[in-house]
Amino acid sequence: MKQKLLTTVLLATLPLGAHAANWLQAQGNEAPDTGYYKIWGFLQPAYTYVDADPVQGLQGGAAAFNGQLSVPNRVGPDLDDNDELQFNRARIGVRGNIIPGKINYFALVEAGQNGITSQRDLMVTDASVTFNYIPGARIRAGLFKLPTSEEALVAVHVAYPYVYYSNAATSLLLETQYRSTGAINAAGASNGLAISSVSGFRDIGIQVYDWFNRGPWEFSYALMLSNGGEIDQLSDNDSKKDVTGRLQASYVFGKSKGPNREDASVWLWRQDGEREFGTGSFDRVREGVGATYKKGPWRATAEYLRGSGMIVGGPNPPFPGQPVQIGVNEKASGWYLEGGWRFLKNWELDLRHDYFDRMTETAALEREFTTTTLGANWYFYKNTRLALNYEWRDLEVSNPLAIPAGAQRTNAETIADNLGDRVSLQMTWFF
């Protein structure tokens, strides 16, 4: 029995650097024979350097920030400098069965330096129980990942080959709660202040889901009702709920399974909710569609995401301690295309190109972000890998003529031109 359990654990955590999986099943369920508990976790120490100089040439009131690094050129979450060595993630958890085949659970805590722990040094990221009694409708309740983008669902320690997420996933799905610090502008942007940690793609709620196999085909669905609030607050801060749904169809090659199975998949998802901001309540809609292919040494993934309603534009001006720019009736969209090639047993090359277009309803505020990431992964031990990423980053002011000539336009273009490339080195060790 112990040997069988060990084999199951190793197969479930074998680091093959792929996206392909049914994450609803992999993260929400336990095989009946895997026991009542399994202690697990991972560490990800990382070094990041942004090749950028302090801003010079700002005019008007923004001239006070000359000689400082802008927020995009600093390393989060502390934003102290343009280089940082830190434990990006440090997580430990337990998962297992309460009643084998009927009730299982999943729990995980975070002690690393990232957006989730920006408010507290230790945060619970997952705490859920799954009930497998109703054929075709498994029920999962608690705190866990929302059934949204593939990039959001992927298990970062065993199946995510990059150090940082794409611009679209970071901006649209890693949610922080804000309160208003001034008048609400129905068009354009308002000012806000962060009052929570980053969601980590998670929420507290209840989800109905399942998957169905038809020969090599697998079809899955998920429908979740959740708070749409802070992940460290069990109670909802308003009476409104988010509704999130996802559909996926996969063709599974051979008998591969687990978080790194070989398959071809397509999916679509949508998240619909509202957020209170100031004296009003505003829509927050996110949706996307994507596809992936993984077989042998090759992998490819493409996904398109878009959002409407509340869109966060970051600090304005983009320096620490400044008000956050928030559009309450805005739109944004983006996509990424990525692929990987395992050219040797323990080596993999990865390439990703992503694009994000933010604040598209207000010409003067629209900005376009383009990043090309070249990565290499070295799997030098069965539970340890080293990832090196170099990101060519570009920021464009989409409509400079819509910005009043003079200091405003000059400052916008100066900030955009100042964005630096980013290099990161991250080790992943799991148990």
DSSP letter assigned to residue 65: G
Look at the block and give the residue holding tokens 């916008």: 412
* H or E element, residue 3: helix 2-13
Q: What is the pLDDT of residues 308-354, one digit of tens each?
A: 999 999 999 999 999 999 999 999 999 999 999 999 889 999 999 99
β-strand pairing of 263-277 with 280-295: antiparallel
C-alpha 270/C-alpha 210 separation (Å) is: 17
pLDDT, residue 59, reads 97
Question: Who contacts 89 (Cβ-Cβ below 8 Å, separation ≥6)?
Answer: 42, 43, 44, 110, 112, 114, 156, 157
Is the backbone of residue 307 left (phi > 0), alpha (psi -120 to 50) or beta?
Answer: beta
C-alpha 201/C-alpha 199 separation (Å) is: 5
What pLDDT tens digit does each residue of the chain (431 aa) get? Answer: 333 333 333 333 333 445 568 999 999 999 999 999 999 999 999 999 999 999 999 999 999 999 999 999 999 999 999 999 999 999 999 999 999 999 999 999 999 999 999 999 999 999 999 999 999 999 999 999 999 999 999 999 999 999 999 999 999 999 999 999 999 999 989 999 999 999 999 999 999 999 999 999 999 999 999 999 999 998 787 788 999 999 999 999 998 887 779 999 999 999 999 999 998 999 999 999 999 999 999 999 999 999 999 999 999 999 999 999 999 999 999 999 999 999 988 999 999 999 999 999 999 999 999 999 999 999 999 999 999 999 999 999 999 999 999 999 999 999 999 999 999 999 999 99
Whether the full predicted model's pTM is greater than 0.75, yes or no, is yes
The CA-atom distances, in angstroms, between 101 and each of 35, 89, 130, 138, 335 are: 10, 31, 10, 11, 38
C-alpha 250/C-alpha 232 separation (Å) is: 34
3-class secondary-structure state, position 295: strand
C-alpha 354/C-alpha 302 separation (Å) is: 10
Residue spans per domain, the chain: 2-430
Query: Minimal CA–CA distance to 350: which of 388, 376, 387, 378?
Result: 376
What CATH fold (topology level) applies to the domain 2-430? Porin (2.40.160)
| 59, 410 Cβ separation under 8 angstroms | yes
- Residue 431 is encoded by which pair of tokens? 């148990």
C-alpha 397/C-alpha 414 separation (Å) is: 10
Alpha carbon distance, N-terminus to C-terminus of the chain: 19
* H or E element, residue 168: helix 167-173
pLDDT, residue 20, reads 60
pLDDT, residue 8, reads 36
Is the backbone of residue 258 left (phi > 0), alpha (psi -120 to 50) or beta?
Answer: left
Ranges of H-type helices in 295-371: none
Query: Minimal CA–CA distance to 23: which of 188, 145, 175?
Result: 145
